[in-house]
Chains A and B, each alone.
Chain A
Amino acid sequence: MVSAGLVDALAQGLVTGGIIAAGALGLSLVYSIAGVPNFAHGDMITVGAYLVLALNNPAELALVPNLVALPFAAAAVVGIAAAGVFGSAYEFAVFRRFRGKDADLITMVIVSLGLALILRNLVVFLVGSKNVTYDTPSGVNLNVDLYLTGNGLAVELTRRVRGSIQTLDAWGYGWPALVAIVALAFAAGYAVYRWRRGDAGFDEVHFVDPRIWGVAGFALVAAALAFALRGGAFGVADAAYSTRVGVSRKYGLILAVMLATMFCINYVLKRTKTGRAMRATADDQSLARIRGVNIDRVQLVVWVLAAVLAAVAGALLGWYSSSLNPNMGFSLLLPVFAAVIVGGIDSPYGAALGGLLIGISMDVGVFLLPTEFATYRTAIAFVILVVVLLVKPEGLWGDA
């Protein structure tokens, strides 16, 4: 009998990490450019998730008019755009005014706290505090069962149909093939990395970091080889180690959306004039102003982007966990802050990596710990946060 194991926890953690990364990316932009440690970010995630819900499944909401019920994908696009409007509202109604008064960091913290109270209770006011779900087409859950045997690695693709497990497909890799796949993929990844960083210099800004190219090359070559070198199935009765990984289209889509979002943010930051203005503002606001950067416009863009990213995280979180409640964002606030601080608060890229790290640690940690510790998922994120603060307060990828 195969059961879910470490590899499954890793896969889950990757998805959780992607969601946290989206939240962390927005928080980190606001933190570094607007200078606000935004305690309302968790509730911005909630608001985004519920905006999508209002378009997708309004029957769940008490005080919201039951007008349209779009398919989830369309509702997500419109709802996330609407969240951007909310983002501009935060900037115009609250943060621009306080910036005009030169409010200090502590005041900004407390103002964002007030906004958090307003947003969370606005959701409770309109929706109530019960758990609700999106109306989404039910996905197909597949299991990838991996068996480590004397002959090599056997793979079975199974799915559960009416209580019994049905095998869809099975194949295997002998030890030589397995070693070849790993070695070739590793070599290819390293080669891509060397090729991309060939022009490295202190004045060269890579659009996509060579390390990411390296990882992408590794993953692509490994996938291609794994497809090309697959051999016939062999007996798995004497498997030394077996593990089951649950996969579904949903997880794949969530990861794809995350990658696309990060690519877009990367494009905005590195290839557009606004993005350059944003990075300049983060470095030195006065200097940027002197050089003709319209600070107010930059801040508006930052808040809209942050609200959009929060809404992406919220919609994906609500979809992933199949439940929404008014506390969903606030309970994600701690992991998101941990991701930002672990990654270094001035670095959006660090925040994204920190999000993945925190997400994977949370799910793998819960898997490794005894079951009675399952309620302390957030505590794992927090322990990482404190250790990083003690050892390397500027963050793992920060340069402060």
Chain B
Amino acid sequence: MALSDFLVSLLTVVGVYTLFGLGLNVKYGFTGLVDFGHVLYFMIGAYVTVVVAMPSGAADYAGIGGFALPELLSALPLGGFIGWLLAVAVAMTAAALLSLLVGVPTLRLREDYLAITALGVATILHSVVNDEEWLFNGPFGVREVYQPLGGAFPLSLGSFTVNLVVFGLPSVLALGYVAYRVVRYVRPVSRDAALFTVAGVVLTVVGFGVTTLGGGAVVAAGAAVIAAGVYAVSRGVRVAGGFGRPLALFAALVFALWYLVMPAVTDSPAAVVVNLVWLFDPTTGANGAVTYSRFILLLTGAFVALAYLWCERTVNSPYGRVLRAIREDEDVPEALGKPTFKYKVHSMMFGSALAAAAGGLWATHIGFIDPGQFTSSITFFAFTAVIIGGTANNKGVILGTAVFWTLRTGTRFLDDYFPAEYATQLAALRVMLIGALLIVILYYRSEGLLGEQTYDTGVSPRGESSD
């Protein structure tokens, strides 16, 4: 598997969980509702999307379903895709209505009651989905997942050159734009800090290289070199007087080394080109093509962009101002005549609908769903991601989710260096570190990497209305 395939898969996962995290941020970040059952709506979204879009009479499936919405609309142009979008809409509505049922009894009470009740509902409905085969096939899951526009992929436009230009050029431009933004952001950093960071990158990478050679003493030496690298980066952070730019530089350099330099060394320069034109897979078919997983990435990106804009618009509106006021002190908006209970219910439904959309995308990405994918740890990971990025910051959700899932997926590589029987131990260690990270961030930097976002309140600093 080329590195670009891995990158596409990682970005899709980050996109799905960003959508999920945006929903959580609406509830937790902007309205202050601790919904420990957020994964419930993710699960509902995944199952309802799959079941509504599934053709009837699917093999090995005993649950309800088979409404075949895409087939019903197949007469229309893009009918299958519209049918799938409708299925996602149905899933979002179902999740919103379910959260209404959960919210009405609990949202009038103290915030901790919501946390335990939501966790309870999620746990119990999870066991219902797991135990009741007539519902969604129980523990055996659903294999019949509709793939919107699945027939059109791998997409090829004819000759290899046309494909390369049409699909490769935007990929390179996108990478270049990201690089440009990173460079512009990192540039103001002082030379000393930059040198420390670069030294840190070199030491860390060399350390990892040494560690992979194996052998007890060599591994210890490698670990020592990695520690020296981490120390150098921390010096860089101290010299720079802020952690943002050195860490961005560090991440960008490590990414460039991993994604562009390493393939050139271990493989061939052609591999670098393959990685650069990441949206285009030259190895599929005779003339290369855009694979389905890349389409799912673009689809996820479109969903995330829409959800981001929707969330931004909501929190910047007077409506969002009321939500924040409820978070800070519910009595104040109540005294000003705002029906705070209604606002809280709306916030629950809105956030749950976003989680359901994430669930629908998740099912399409994975192609197989079972109850084991929807444990309550998914909620806790989303909380961690939101808190890393910055609670009540929509950009922070994107950043936090990217950091969280990159770390979590990246550390899986370490499993290769340990005997297989320690896999459970390593997984447990990872979750322990997540818990510790959660506590450490809340203690030392409770505002997360980015802090709460600034709002476009329509009021200029001098107190005059700007619009």
Q: Knowing A107-B446, A125-B429, A128-B424, say if A386 contacts B124 (CB, 8 Å).
A: no
Complex partner residue of B435 from A37, A117, A334, CB under 8 angstroms: A117
Residue among B110, B112, B124 with max Cβ neighbours from chain A (10 Å): B112
Q: Check: A375 CB closer than 8 A to any chain B CB.
A: yes
Which of the segments A163-171, A225-233, A377-385 contacts the partner chain?
A377-385
Which residues of chain A (46-65) have a CB below 8 Å from chain B?
Answer: 63
Q: Check: A106 CB closer than 8 A to any chain B CB.
A: yes
Q: For the complex, what is the distance from the CA of A334 to the CA of B34, rounded to whole Å?
A: 16
Complex partner residue of A106 from B111, B113, B121, B425, CB under 8 angstroms: B111
Residue in B closest to A337 when the chains form the complex, CB atoms: B116
Q: Is the interface of A mostly helix, strand, loop or mixed?
A: helix
Q: Which 8 A-B pairs have the closest CB atoms?
A: A117-B435, A114-B438, A124-B428, A37-B112, A118-B435, A121-B428, A125-B428, A114-B439
Total A-B residue pairs with C-beta atoms closer than 8 Å? Answer: 114
Which of the segments A71-79, A93-101, A264-272 contacts the partner chain?
A93-101
Q: Check: B293 CB closer than 8 A to any chain A CB.
A: no
Q: What residues of chain B lie closer than 8 Å to A117, measured between beta carbons?
A: 377, 380, 431-432, 434-435, 438
Q: What residues of chain B lie closer than 8 Å to A114, measured between beta carbons?
A: 435-439, 442
Q: Check: B119 CB closer than 8 A to any chain A CB.
A: yes
Which residues of chain B (6-43) have a CB below 8 Å from chain A?
Answer: 32, 34, 36
Residue in B closest to A380 when the chains form the complex, CB atoms: B124
Q: What residues of chain A lie closer than 8 Å to B443, measured between beta carbons?
A: 97-98, 101
Q: For the complex, what is the distance from the CA of A115 to the CA of B424, rounded to whole Å?
A: 19
B123 contacts A334, CB within 8 Å? yes
Which residues of chain B (391-440) have a CB below 8 Å from chain A?
Answer: 424-425, 427-429, 431-432, 434-439
Q: What residues of chain B lie closer than 8 Å to A212, measured between beta carbons?
A: none
Chain A, 389-400, contact with B by CB distance < 8 Å: what is the 0/1 string?
A: 110010000000
A341 contacts B113, CB within 8 Å? yes
Q: For the complex, what is the distance from the CA of A375 to the CA of B387, rounded to whole Å?
A: 35
Q: Check: A39 CB closer than 8 A to any chain B CB.
A: yes
Q: Knowing A106-B32, A118-B435, A375-B131, say if A334 contacts B115 (CB, 8 Å).
A: no
CB distance from A345 to the nearest CB of B (A): 9
B105 contacts A124, CB within 8 Å? no
CB distance from A4 to the nearest CB of B (A): 23
Which residues of chain A (111-139) have a CB below 8 Å from chain B?
Answer: 111, 113-118, 120-122, 124-125, 128-129
Q: What residues of chain A lie closer than 8 Å to B439, measured between beta carbons?
A: 94, 111, 114-115, 118
Q: What residues of chain B lie closer than 8 Å to A386, measured between beta carbons?
A: 105, 117
B112 contacts A125, CB within 8 Å? no
Chain B, 343-375, contact with A by CB distance < 8 Å: what is the 0/1 string?
A: 000000000000000000000000000000000
Residue in A closest to B434 when the chains form the complex, CB atoms: A117
Which residues of chain A (234-259) have a CB below 8 Å from chain B?
Answer: none
A389 contacts B105, CB within 8 Å? yes
Residue among B106, B128, B387, B443 with max Cβ neighbours from chain A (10 Å): B443
Interface range for A: 35 or more
B34 contacts A106, CB within 8 Å? yes
B442 contacts A107, CB within 8 Å? yes
List 17 additional A-B contacts (Cβ < 8 Å) besides A113-B383, A114-B436, A386-B105.
Answer: A37-B112, A105-B110, A106-B32, A106-B111, A111-B439, A113-B36, A115-B435, A117-B434, A117-B435, A118-B435, A121-B428, A122-B432, A125-B425, A334-B116, A375-B127, A382-B120, A382-B121
Q: Knowing A113-B383, A376-B127, say if A37 contacts B116 (CB, 8 Å).
A: yes
Q: For the complex, what is the distance from the CA of A338 to the CA of B120, rounded to whole Å?
A: 10
Q: What residues of chain A lie closer than 8 Å to B377, measured between beta carbons?
A: 117
Q: For the complex, what is the distance from the CA of A379 to the CA of B119, rounded to whole Å?
A: 12
CB distance from B443 to the nearest CB of A (A): 6
Q: For the complex, what is the distance from the CA of A117 to the CA of B124, rounded to whole Å?
A: 20
CB distance from A338 to the nearest CB of B (A): 8
A378 contacts B424, CB within 8 Å? no
Q: Check: A148 CB closer than 8 A to any chain B CB.
A: no
23 contacts between A and B (CB under 8 A): A97-B443, A101-B443, A103-B442, A106-B32, A107-B442, A113-B36, A113-B438, A116-B435, A117-B431, A117-B432, A117-B434, A117-B438, A121-B435, A125-B429, A125-B432, A129-B424, A375-B127, A375-B131, A376-B124, A382-B121, A382-B124, A385-B116, A385-B117
Residue in A closest to B102 when the chains form the complex, CB atoms: A386
Q: For the complex, what is the distance from the CA of A393 to the CA of B112, rounded to whole Å?
A: 12
Q: Check: B109 CB closer than 8 A to any chain A CB.
A: yes
Q: Check: A109 CB closer than 8 A to any chain B CB.
A: yes
Which residues of chain B (81-135) have a CB below 8 Å from chain A?
Answer: 105-106, 109-113, 115-117, 119-121, 123-124, 127-128, 131
Q: What residues of chain A lie closer than 8 Å to B128, measured between beta carbons?
A: 376
Complex partner residue of B123 from A94, A121, A378, CB under 8 angstroms: A378
Q: What residues of chain B lie closer than 8 Å to A120, measured between beta carbons?
A: 431
Q: What residues of chain B lie closer than 8 Å to A124, measured between beta carbons?
A: 424-425, 427-428
